[in-house]
Amino acid sequence: SNENNNARGALIVLEGLDRSGKTSQCRRLHSRLVEQGIPIELWRFPDRKTCVGQMISSYLANKSQLDDQTVHLLLVLTVGRKGFPYFMSLMESKLKSGTTLIVDRYSYSGVAFSSAKGLDIEWCKAPERGLLAPDLVVYLDISPEKAAERGGYGGERYEQLEFQREVSQQYQILRDGTWKIIDVCLPVEDIEKQLRELVLDCITTCQRGKGDIGSA
Ligand code: TMP
């Protein structure tokens, strides 16, 4: 049978602490793979351009106050997550048509950051159930201390060493054996190369039609 009938894109998620370099790595990866002619899109959550995204952005910039539960649920709404079936079906149709999605933060951020504030982890996970399951989760591993030394740190509400230590612990609880960990202390070219290899591998597996698009 024709392999391409089954070809689908891969759902690839990058996670990590603030200032772990996710956004730059996502951009480099995206442009390299575009150059290689791979159908690929870069998504990020929260998308601050949406209406709800602007509320979150103002909260993160310490310009407004919201209680922890409210912030959590607002973030669930922004993240192509369950509250927005539109985003989920958009993601799904992209994947089915063969486009790979690189996603800068997903539901794991939602759970890690909110449970780091002391909210019950099961409560945090509940509204995230039923999301599309990623084919690959890459965790950019940096210590909270190292992250705090990076430029631009402290600009936003969550960029506080103590808090990021908590977030880091929550990520360790969340991550399972399938997550790929990249040490962010490596030279940036090495990080880029490791990431690209993991991603290309995953894309190839999905192209062969191995496995359906899962749900989390
Ligand atoms: P960003 O720096 O990647 O734009 O993310 C903004 C902040 O929001 C970052 O500190 C992580 C946090 N966050 C959550 O608390 N919950 C979520 O669901 C997401 C996607 C991000």
Query: Residue 60: CB within 6 Å of ligand 1?
Result: yes
**pLDDT tens, 135-185?**
999 999 999 999 999 988 888 999 999 999 999 999 999 999 999 999 999
**Better-scored residue on pLDDT, 193 or 131:** 193
DSSP 8-state secondary structure symbol assigned to residue 101: E
Query: Residue 46: CB within 6 Å of ligand 1?
Result: yes
H-helix segments, 106-160? 107-116, 121-125, 144-148
Q: Write down the mean pLDDT value for the chain.
A: 90
| Residue-level pLDDT at 97 | 95
Percent of the chain with pLDDT over 70: 90
CA distance 171 to 136: 16
CA distance 168 to 150: 16
Which of 158, 161, 163, 170 has most ligand 1 atoms within 8 Å of CB, for mutation?
158
Ligand 1: atom nearest CA of 81 is 18
Residue found by looking up tokens 């997903």 in the block = 106
Q: Is the ipTM of this complex over 0.85?
A: yes
3-207: CATH, from 3.40.50.720, 3.40.50.300, 3.30.465.10, 3.30.460.10: 3.40.50.300
| Residue-level pLDDT at 85 | 59
Asked if pLDDT for residue 35 goes beyond 80, the answer is yes
Query: Residue 75: CB within 6 Å of ligand 1?
Result: yes
| Residue-level pLDDT at 212 | 67
In what order do the strands lie in the sheet containing 100-104?
Answer: 40-44, 100-104, 11-16, 136-141, 180-183
- Lowest-pLDDT choice from 113-117, 124-128, 172-176: 124-128
**pLDDT tens, 63-79?**
999 999 999 999 888 76
Kindly state the helix (H) or strand (E) to which residue 44 belongs, with its residue range: strand 40-44
